[in-house]
Amino acid sequence: MSDQEFPGWHGTTIIGVRKGGRVVVAGDGQVSLGQTVIKGTARKVRRLAPGGHEVVCGFAGSTADAFTLLERLEGKLEKSPGQLQRACVDLAKDWRTDKYLQKLEAMLIVTDGRELYVITGAGDVLEPEHDIAAIGSGGNFALAAARGLYDYEEDAEKIARRAMAIASDICVYTNGKLTVETISA
């Protein structure tokens, strides 16, 4: 669907930072339709516990699409308890090959405290090189800020919060109302 047919949902910045035996996933709360802010307090970071194994997920893109993907991921994790990488790869395979799922427009950051992945509809399961993953309209701003802070700040949550503050100052589709979830290895 083109922007002429539908102005499109913009917004969201999600960041995952792994440092000191923990991973922090933070996401802003802004949902925009075209140039209008529809909601400022959306919760785009969630904690899942399929089969007793906690996983933290952040999503960017269509909310309904992201929830569909989170449900599928939860199912994959129930079939492969404690095997985050396998569940993510299985989800990416389905997302890439299933005609219904192919139309979903979202991206995910997923972590169990040990592993950190970005999952895309192109079939990618990416593990970030520098222990930082970021997605969404302000993702590159948050990523750059976190990379700059990483060697000078010991606390993963402080890095994530400061990077999100910088992204929200730059990206008009990102606000400073954060949801932050922390998970340890």
Q: Which residues are catalytic?
A: 12
Task: Check whether 168 is labelled as a binding-site residue.
Answer: yes
Query: CA 94, CA 141: separation in Å to the nearest integer?
Result: 30
| Chain center to CA of 109 | 3
Task: Check whether 174 is labelled as a binding-site residue.
Answer: yes
If we measure between CA atoms, which residue out of 185, 127, 125, 165 comes closest to residue 26? 165
Please name the amino acid found at residue 158: K
Q: What's the token pair of residue 121?
A: 């509809």
Task: Check whether 171 is labelled as a binding-site residue.
Answer: yes
Residue 105 CA: distances (Å) to CA of 63, 68, 120, 180, 183: 9, 10, 9, 23, 26
Count CB-CB contacts under 10 A for residue 97.
10
Task: Enumerate residues 6+ apart whose C-beta is below 8 A from 99.
Answer: none
Q: List residues bridging with 22 in a β-sheet.
A: 19, 184
- As annotated, the binding site includes 168, 171, 174
Binding residues for Na(+): 168, 171, 174
